[in-house]
Amino acid sequence: MAALSEEQSMLQDQARSWASEQAPVTAFRKMRDSGVAERFEPATWQAMIDMGWTGIIVPENYGGSDLGYLTFGVVLEELGKQLTASPLFASALVGASAILLGGNNAQKDEWLPKIVDGSSVMSLAVDDGPRHNPANTSTSATTSANGYMLSGAKTMVLEGMAATDLIVVARTSGAPGESKGLTLFLVPADSSGVSRSALSMVDSRGYANIHFDGVEVAADRVLGSVDAGYELLEQILDRARAGLGAEMMGTASAAFDMTLEYLKTREQFGRVIGSFQALGHRAAELYGNMELSRSCAEAALIAIDNNASDISELCSLSKAKVGDFVHVMSNQLIQIHGGIGMTDEFDAGFYLKRARALEAIFGNQAFHKDRYARALGF
């Protein structure tokens, strides 16, 4: 585990105690059963805003604390352990990253304070289809008298029903499959021509399909450069993937802790099952893979903080390696618990379902193994 600063350790302790006491898995179960439209509790979200977590990567002159991505990862890991639902990742990490990387001074002045105080919940609308492939964008943005007109559809938009503002990836030139010709637009979610439909997903979190039917977007709502948005988008997505790696580590490590506790307490044939050699070896192998995965997740976040030259490689390595581990660990959680692990009354199923969703968001393991190999010249 990376050596944390005193400030990071304090934030880790704060996040751990708050999540376990105020937003534990039992609260997630209650939220799921309540059918709340946003798929998170507003009070939970407000508490995160009040604690300043929405400003972790935002510079101080915009109301943030500018503590960096590793610090944000520390918080996301603790939330991942409890499956705490909120727009923190979608808005304060992905949305804020987009404005920081692509925004001009006026856009930063307008949007960053709103992300920090929670008055803007921002979400990235990137994929047109079910498989993550940003270059395959066919949603179009054609020039109009006042700027641009957006038409098309986006699927699996994180916190899509709760979002107040969207960063929409659209094609201003070229053909689907080409990386050139993409442009990012800032679009208020209540714009005329925007329609949203909630997606019911296995992890009971907030997703939406969003349609754009001739949506007027002013020219000053372009984020970055026209036709050259792909490189900016990749930078935003890498920061998102690094954040997901941290959250997946939390989910996986909680699954490991639950499994280990069961191995220490469940008795069969007059002995705790953890004393059986086969299960002991399995636990040891899982622990080794967990620590290796943690190193990959932290390396990606540290690379971003240091503005390293290999950010994209390390972010794909993190998403692929931690994705593999959370997949295996969530399976083992169910398998080692046996029959009880299959019941809805037991929390294990929540971890398996969340693991499957996290694996798929912004590119699954196959996507990132391929991307990592290409980055290394294979």
Whole-angstrom CA distances from 160 to 45, 176, 180, 199 are 15, 23, 26, 9
* Superfamily (CATH) of domain 230-375: Butyryl-CoA Dehydrogenase, subunit A, domain 3 (1.20.140.10)
Instruction: Give the type of residue at 316.
Output: S
Segments in the chain below pLDDT 50? none
Cα distance between residue 317 and residue 118, in whole Å: 32
Q: Which residues of 176-214 are buried (b: 16+ CB within 10 A; e: fewer)?
A: eeebebbbbbbbebeeeebebeebebebbbbbbbbebee
Question: What is residue 279's predicted lDDT score, i.e. its pLDDT?
Answer: 86
**By C-alpha distance, which of 166, 328, 41 is closest to 152?**
166
End-to-end CA distance of the chain: give it in Å, rounded. 30
Using DSSP's 3-state secondary structure scheme, residue 269 falls into coil
CATH class of 123-227: mainly beta
- Domain range summary for the chain, segments of one domain joined by +: 6-118, 123-227, 230-375
Cα distance between residue 256 and residue 191, in whole Å: 45
CATH architecture of 6-118: Orthogonal Bundle (1.10)
> 193, 210 in Cβ contact below 8 A?
no
Residue 220 phi/psi, 5-degree rounding, is -80, 5
